[in-house]
Structure 1
Amino acid sequence: MAGTAYADGHAKELTIAIVNNGHMINMQKVAEAYTEETGVKLNWVALEEGVLREQVTSDTATGGGQYDIINIGMQEAPIWGAAGWIEPLEFGADYDVEDILPAMRAGLSHDGTLYAAPFYGESSMVMYRKDLADAAGVSITDNASWWNVKEAAAAMHDPDNGVYGACLRGKPGWGDNAAFITTVANSFGARWFDENMMPDLDSVAWNAAVSFYVDLLSNYGPPGSEGNSFNEILALYNEDKCGLWIDATIAASFLENPNVAYAQSPNAGNPVGANWLWAWAMAIPAGTPNAEEAKAFIEWATSKDYVQAVGNHPDFGWGSVPTGQRASTYEIPEFQAVAKFAEAELAAIDSAAPEATDLKPYVGVQFVAIPEFPQIGVIFGQEMAAALTGAKSVEEALAASQEAADAIMREAGYY
């Protein structure tokens, strides 16, 4: 259950559901100082991101009350805020909400009201072993073509020595393989829905994009890619088993090899939507009796002071501070000195394009900002994993995804 409120009305315990990514795990240790200062005990529930999404969605939608603070992102925050599932957030002047990057503020707000505060933000980019690329005689440039990236992956691929050319997400989930595949599809000119919000997954562009993804990962990826999400690939990369990885910019904070270089995401002719936009943010489920204390913790954990606390922490340092949320972080000299990825990360965030366009009539890059999308995305992710393993053809997987999406959208009354 959520943290306990005592007779004086103040919470002495808060229960917090977090994704088990590096920055969130680090927060548990940094926050020991918060408990010492305030007396508030923090109970952490760290979950793999697919499990977190499922459990937090179920608990919040039903008013289950398990958590005082939850990790959510840009897909959920505006929708849940509009539905009254989470509390609006207002902080004091010292918090400096204007320092939060505009893309993050906008993506976590509804009608100008902030409903979740970004703990860290991200786009996606290419992270590649420049030493391996140089040895293979290939290069990866900003916004390279997908065919150039495939050529580079092929050249670096050396499975006999435990090196795989391309490590990419294959684990099913709307925020896992579906997120990455959507950026590929965007760059091929595909879209989830047409101007009438009818699914468009059986298009030529989707077929081309998914076929390319399956071919690239099947030929030049590690075995068992259908089970790999962020943490699995991060481990492979830090074991020097990956030539290139295209994923969340935040990964750069945790890469250990000194030969990593960075490039803006590749595309197949359409650069709009080739790199995603996301924030792991902190929100308060509506109805928690500990909303005041939960807000106080979120204000601390997403503040400039928290960045300083991580940077000056003996176990972490400036290379481990959460990024992608505040403009001021990128101006800190100590951070600039150690974060060689910072310029590429900020460029990726600034170039991400979640707005509706003539091509796509919806908000979102690697997701669609409608309540029905998680259900559709989960099915799609399962079908894409089946295509990756060869259990289904690309055509069969897309046809099944189209049929499921059509049924869900019809039932929801879109057409």
Structure 2
Amino acid sequence: MKRKNKILLRNIDWWIVVIYIFMTFFGYMNLYSVSHEKGEKQLIWILFSFIFIFLVFLLKPIHYKYFSFFLFLFTIFLLIGVFFFGKNINGAKSWYVLGAISFQPSELSKISTSLMIAHILSQENLQKNKNVLLFVSIILIIFPSLLIFFQPDPGTSLVFFSFILTLYRQGVVSGYFIFFLLFLVFLFVISLLISFWIIIFCLFSILFFIFFLKKNRSIKNLFFYLFFFLLSSIFVIFSPIFSDKFLKPYHKNRINILFQNEFDRKYRDNVGYNLLYSKTAIGSGKFFGKGYQKGTITKGKFVPEQHTDYIFCTVGEEWGFIGSVTLIIFYLLLISRIYFLSEKQKNVFGKIFGYSVGNILFTHFFINLSMVMGLFPTIGIVLPFFSYGGSSFWSFTILLFIFIRLDYSDQSSLI
């Protein structure tokens, strides 16, 4: 028994565990500074997370692999059911509420989709047919993403596109595919912002054709570019109709702010209010910060949703440049360590799951910090281990410790 305990302690990656503990503790401190009541609730969820960590280590890696399909199917039913039985909170019907207990199924879907993608990509019989592998993988990503988008929760649905990076790392998609997706996003944003988007699209497409046809003039590539142009044209034509039907006015205004100014009277008292005071809070912290629980903007509760999406501005105000950079370094260390261990995995399932965990954390981290600094629209992306909420904290904890569990078994393996 003693020998088994020594092996368990030795093969667990303590670097990730220590970073997790630090970030959880630091996150709790900042939440408590924003709201004592919410900080106390978060502490309860943090303590409950130890139960989930214990359960994660009870299961063997083979259980995660072979039960991934049933978990994925279960979360799809939950995502569909939320349209009928969910409660509308802040304009989105994305929560199940049972008395004092609330649950967001989109958080569970990140776990189930990560496991399912790892299961599919690790199948040897599918490795020979990349087209089938790509088709199945895209369906697994798109289906839950669309269900979440229609809640509507465009921020969480955007996180699912981080799985494209996992497919790219495994060689399922090429760099051209990622470029194509980014191009479609660019066209969608342009269609929301300006009325002469067709002219922009035509000019960009002409330059695209000139560049790529100059590089390669084969008939095969010519058909690819024509298909690309046709699909992009259809997307551009229908994207304004799509956005008018499914995006609310405040979603569009949040995109408009990026290209205008939150100080403008048109925005500063409504949709730009959060961003204005978020920037003010971060800037007021200067180099060393105002001190713990001494942030005037935080204490004055000037920033709505500061306990969730805008928690980073509390770090900027109370801990200053030093605290903000320290937090960023710890996030980068955590994500880098996950990628590093993923590369070392002997088991393909653990390797792919690790990529997905790293990509999800990086997407949340990058977009959340970009939001609070005005570099990205406010779309409801939380900061892992920092933002208030039991569903999100538990989902990130479970994701992280499933990977630690897989890595532990991989290190213990004699293969």
Q: Same fold (TM over 0.5)?
A: no
Task: Pick the TM interval, shorter chain.
Answer: under 0.3
Richer in helix (by share): 2
Instruction: Give TM-score, length-normalised by structure 1.
Output: 0.23
Q: Which has the larger radius of gyration?
A: 2
Richer in strand (by share): 1
